Structure 1
């Protein structure tokens, strides 16, 4: 009998034996990178055993009109559980290592227990013995069924839950790729075909040589050259976790890429993954890398726009699926949520992190509530998956293990800069001062009088409502920046502010902290509302960035409002204590070591606030993958909800959305016109008609007054209509 895995629209048949063997070969190839080739092979070989069953074969033939009698052909047949059951039958409890990936290769990694997920739990599915009986009744080739337990052993000390997750990634990607090669040969041919790391290194060195020739001979540029040379030198050292502690404006982006490329070239690393904290700043980095490397750079984040009809864009989209490209630029949310995901689409790329160089930019912004699970995973990648990490920031967090409060941290990190303190002194371009005692509140009216003294000034506050209120009290030509502006709006405003600064046009800006990572402003004076010490230093990085002034001025003040409850308020309280201490330099590197140690001590068990580590630890392989994935949300969509706004092209796209159903291309373009609101406010505005549901889970602003071209989304205008909105 001929057993079928897939049937194309033109009735071509993908033989099941062939699909299993090809998937096994691919999964084996992927898993070999971390020493698990045999395990990957068996995952691939057994993942679709359920397709041998008569009910599945009847179903697939009936679905393609290839049966004379299609009566009693099931609409849907569970084909993923049989292989999971076969692994248990062959290997007992150790078979669970195969059961998680095989049972989840469509539905995702499951919880073992049924407490949270009911019948979707693996322990429940492994009771469906009838599914295995139906498959093994058929004539399955012995070379597929009769296999022994692999003699490869997982590395001693490796986390079994993460090892299974990586096998799952290998299987899912292999299954997708083999299926794609059957259905869409043209698409499959677009994958890969990138320049290799050594070729990219040549391009990079050529770019940097030209940049050096064109650079002005300034003190800051001479220091940037020294930092770059130090990164290239340190890249020759073995794989591990490195830190790059360089003051803002020190050229960390290009220097960190220099380290990554040279290290990858010397140690044959497969790719470079550059992780950026926010979507709002990813374009700046990607544009620079595209200028150097062309289409070898794959940008992966929620705001990515691609034209599905363009071959190069299709190639980028394909590489986003599994990160099969030499340079990936992504966000911290995409990177870390994928490492804890249970869904196939998010997990598929994980195996391609193995044997890579990962650069974590602005690493101090890792969320404290997930810090322990994150650091545990970074250690796992370093020790057992050949990953070299580079943690880059001006304000290096204290990840040194602290047994006194059960903080494992990161072991054996290596600093690239021989003396961060000396570099800090040489790059010091600002003076940080306290506007007045931090026990005294500076009212907005008083602050405005100070700001008016400077024709060009940046003021950073902690809250979006503070930003709007202060902006409304400022002179008319003041700029506003906050997350209540959609991405397209923010990008346009930032570009205009940069242009004015470069041309010496007086420019005042009121902003939230979104400017403190990756936005290369250069103001002579910066005011900063009381906050954590790391944020003070990041604010200082927007002041006298190029060192063209003798000294920039940074003023810290206590605003009339408190920072949001939680981490930001704890950080501000600790920052206040450290800023009030007598110190010649309030933002020297040693200050951050004290600051982060105390901050993490204050957080204590809240560094794994949701108990994720406990979900993924069990001596009998009873893990809660789906529950852990549900908990690990760096941006919690349960607490906020999006609305599409009519800014610029957004108005035309909304109009298009009203005429037709959303597709992938349209939704990607609309991502640039989304504002996220607290869910309680979102619900309130929906009830008032200020936000309208247009398709399932897709909301648009209800009338034009809701979005202002200067300050963004205005929730308080829900009852205010522009005249055009009232025309019948």
Structure 2
């Protein structure tokens, strides 16, 4: 009701008329501030007289969302000891403010009804806060503010898009009806497995039993649970079975899969699409092709220009089944940019499945745990942590509130023994290997194994090893290279080719970074893994003899001396802990449960790992000397900025909340080094680049953006700079979308930073 109160003025009326009369030269967008008035009204009514806590909090929570709906949430106090929130709602002069309020109460809602509305909302807020201890109120109010902000932005943009596209209403999806149809299709597929000739094999009986346990568990109340099915145990379909049944029993609106790498998205989404026979209502969201961190449309002109089209394109996760990445999930809660936070309200009333949850970045552990705890307690969502290598997220200080008796699968130790398909061979604790030594080791093992997967920790050594092996092995061996320098479609095509060669019994060697080891359904005769965290070794082992094609096969752990881990602290520290566990097992074979892959070994690994990174778990920001958690959730009485404000101004900050939402968002990025998504001219990527340079409707743009995700690579700033120096990047949509020219991408390695200057542009 209040977010556009400022439009109820003569000044804004004249602004609209000028825009209509001068379509080629409209007045500057934002020349009339319409967003402040609604927040100012709340401040004037509930912060200046008759102040009560719940109404004051209501004014701040809702008021901040209102004044920020064309940019991002404001700081109640920032590192410079200013309150950008107060600058807007208290200090800014709005010439026609009193008239706008008068018109509002006269024509929209009378003042008595408005105050009754506020009374009801304040009572609702009070009841909401009783669910949390007093010391948690700032934290839960931060998430509530972001939830309200998300709902407001999505509603506002949806309404504008409908107007621009001449639509009258959104077509709502009947989730219950759809999930019933999906569940029938999944049940039919699972029943077909039971009729196959292999159904009576012990391993398939066990898979079927674990799937049945997931269905039975779905009747439990919403909460945070674990699904620790071993690699190759049918985790994707078992978790889908839980999600569909739980959604039907507990009225969930959508199912969201969150995975660490885009490689898994394509595979899992394809599997689910194939079973559910639905291509339209299953969304893959890999990355933001559009950059909008500095998104503030109050500074744009009045036309629906390219940036406005990008803002309005439907990108709010309002579909029944979504596959996305951990980066995108965390961005929804914590990153700047309204495209991110617009999705937050659609994470509630959902089943969220975290595949390979051990890959949560260390610095984001506390933020991840707190987001899930909010969704559990206040968002009516159910979370499933899926992995064969469960991290101890309830071991850390800001622990994940995992439910009691959270594990779905009974007798896990027995299940793990039944699924044992590999033997870990320790080649690492005695000596190191360089690329030349590793190449010889691979050749030696290729005499014993027809297919070998080699997983190393850095792209550089993978590429060098590939170049070395490609020149020295016989023509009958197929050698493949995989890395994040390739777009998703490219990697997917290579994986399809590898799977075909493996099926045909050809000799195959695949050299890859860790992108292949988490959830990719592929099986090699043997695996060589460079020393890393124990979870990474266990996941790499899951690509060996995956379906029990043979008796125990070998996974070799080596210590690669050429890998530069200086800037890969998590891998480096994980490597040290793993080395110590390997040494313990060499000295005493029954230590840590007798195996590097045992539940005991994994628990020991994560507890030591999180203890090592204890000071980093709250996302420390060096330049501010503050943790992200503190910026977002600290109470007024313990927040250092509030005390400094008091000393500077000789008075208290006149607000109930004192958190720094925008400062936190400006300093948040899941990956340490900032990356930008760039569309590449690989196969259909060429056509996407050409289409984006033409005139395009908002709905068509939305479809194209989804398609483009398969044809992007994420580049660091120094990589973009290098490509710009060689004229190898073209800008589209007012520099909001970047694309490579044809010379900067090749079919062998993907991105080519050594592209020669000039030429090769697509004429778009």
Q: Do they fold alike, i.e. is TM over 0.5? A: yes
Q: How does 1:139-178 map onto structure 2 within 5 Å?
A: 140-141=105-106, 143-145=109-111, 146-147=114-115, 148-149=118-119, 150=121, 151-152=123-124, 153=126, 154-156=128-130, 157=132, 159-178=140-159
The RMSD of aligned alpha carbons is 3.2
Match of 1:102 in 2: 66
Q: 1:358 deviation in Å?
A: 0.9
Match of 1:23 in 2: none
Q: 1:113 deviation in Å?
A: 2.6
Which of the residues 189, 194, 202 maps onto 1:219?
A: 202
Q: How does 1:34-433 map onto structure 2 within 5 Å?
A: 45-65=1-21, 76-92=31-47, 93-94=56-57, 95-115=59-79, 121-126=84-89, 127-130=91-94, 132-138=97-103, 140-141=105-106, 143-145=109-111, 146-147=114-115, 148-149=118-119, 150=121, 151-152=123-124, 153=126, 154-156=128-130, 157=132, 159-186=140-167, 188-192=169-173, 195-214=177-196, 216-217=198-199, 218-293=201-276, 294=278, 295-302=280-287, 321-402=315-396, 406-413=397-404, 414-433=406-425
Matched, 1:630 2:666: yes
Structure 1 residues 459 and 71: alpha-carbon distance in aligned structure 2, compared to 1, 3 A threshold: closer
Deviations 1:152-187 (A, max 9, x none): 122321511111111222222333344455554537
> What is the CA–CA distance in structure 2 between the aligned matches of 1:654 and 1:249, rounded to whole Å?
38
- Please give the secondary structure, in 1, of the residue aligned with 2:617: helix
> What is the CA–CA distance in structure 1 between the aligned matches of 2:707 and 2:5, rounded to whole Å?
41
Match of 2:462 in 1: 467
- Please give the secondary structure, in 2, of the residue aligned with 1:167: helix
> What is the CA–CA distance in structure 1 between the aligned matches of 2:500 and 2:287, rounded to whole Å?
27
Which of the residues 642, 645, 648 maps onto 2:683?
A: 648
Matched, 1:675 2:713: yes
> What is the CA–CA distance in structure 2 between the aligned matches of 1:210 and 1:572, rounded to whole Å?
43
Which of the residues 615, 619, 625 maps onto 1:605?
A: 615
> What is the CA–CA distance in structure 2 between the aligned matches of 1:167 and 1:281, rounded to whole Å?
32
Normalised TM-score (structure 1): 0.83
Q: 1:432 deviation in Å?
A: 0.6
Q: What is the aligned length?
A: 658
The question of whether the paired residues in 2 share the 8 Å contact of 1:235 and 1:262 is answered with: yes
> What is the CA–CA distance in structure 2 between the aligned matches of 1:73 and 1:652, rounded to whole Å?
34
The question of whether the paired residues in 2 share the 8 Å contact of 1:690 and 1:718 is answered with: no
> What is the CA–CA distance in structure 1 between the aligned matches of 2:30 and 2:216, rounded to whole Å?
62
- Please give the secondary structure, in 1, of the residue aligned with 2:105: coil
The question of whether the paired residues in 1 share the 8 Å contact of 2:157 and 2:312 is answered with: no
Match of 1:549 in 2: 550
What residue ranges of structure 1 are gaps of 5+ in the alignment?
1-44, 306-316
- Please give the secondary structure, in 2, of the residue aligned with 1:334: helix
The question of whether the paired residues in 2 share the 8 Å contact of 1:370 and 1:632 is answered with: no
Deviations 1:539-586 (A, max 9, x none): 010001111201121000011224523111111111111122214321
Match of 2:639 in 1: none
Higher deviation after alignment, 527-536 or 442-451 = 442-451
Q: 1:252 deviation in Å?
A: 0.6
- Please give the secondary structure, in 2, of the residue aligned with 1:548: coil
Deviations 1:307-359 (A, max 9, x none): xxxxxxxxxx9996333332222222222211224543322232222221111
> What is the CA–CA distance in structure 1 between the aligned matches of 2:186 and 2:437, rounded to whole Å?
50
Deviations 1:657-705 (A, max 9, x none): 7889996666655543433343224323433x1634455365555673x
> What is the CA–CA distance in structure 2 between the aligned matches of 1:660 and 1:98, rounded to whole Å?
37
Match of 2:453 in 1: 458
Match of 1:570 in 2: 573
Q: How does 1:470-549 map onto structure 2 within 5 Å?
A: 470-474=465-469, 475=473, 477-549=478-550
Normalised TM-score (structure 2): 0.79
Structure 1 residues 597 and 71: alpha-carbon distance in aligned structure 2, compared to 1, 3 A threshold: closer
The question of whether the paired residues in 1 share the 8 Å contact of 2:728 and 2:758 is answered with: no
> What is the CA–CA distance in structure 1 between the aligned matches of 2:631 and 2:80, rounded to whole Å?
12
Structure 1 residues 349 and 552: alpha-carbon distance in aligned structure 2, compared to 1, 3 A threshold: same
Match of 1:448 in 2: 439
What residue ranges of structure 2 are gaps of 5+ in the alignment?
48-55, 291-310, 621-626, 637-655
The question of whether the paired residues in 2 share the 8 Å contact of 1:47 and 1:83 is answered with: yes
Higher relative contact order (CA 8 A, sep 6+): 2
> What is the CA–CA distance in structure 2 between the aligned matches of 1:352 and 1:340, rounded to whole Å?
15
The question of whether the paired residues in 1 share the 8 Å contact of 2:453 and 2:527 is answered with: yes
Matched, 1:691 2:682: no
Match of 1:713 in 2: 751
> What is the CA–CA distance in structure 1 between the aligned matches of 2:37 and 2:232, rounded to whole Å?
57
> What is the CA–CA distance in structure 1 between the aligned matches of 2:28 and 2:482, rounded to whole Å?
59
Higher deviation after alignment, 327-336 or 585-594 = 327-336
The question of whether the paired residues in 2 share the 8 Å contact of 1:192 and 1:324 is answered with: no
Structure 1 residues 653 and 342: alpha-carbon distance in aligned structure 2, compared to 1, 3 A threshold: closer
> What is the CA–CA distance in structure 2 between the aligned matches of 1:465 and 1:585, rounded to whole Å?
31
> What is the CA–CA distance in structure 2 between the aligned matches of 1:187 and 1:470, rounded to whole Å?
58
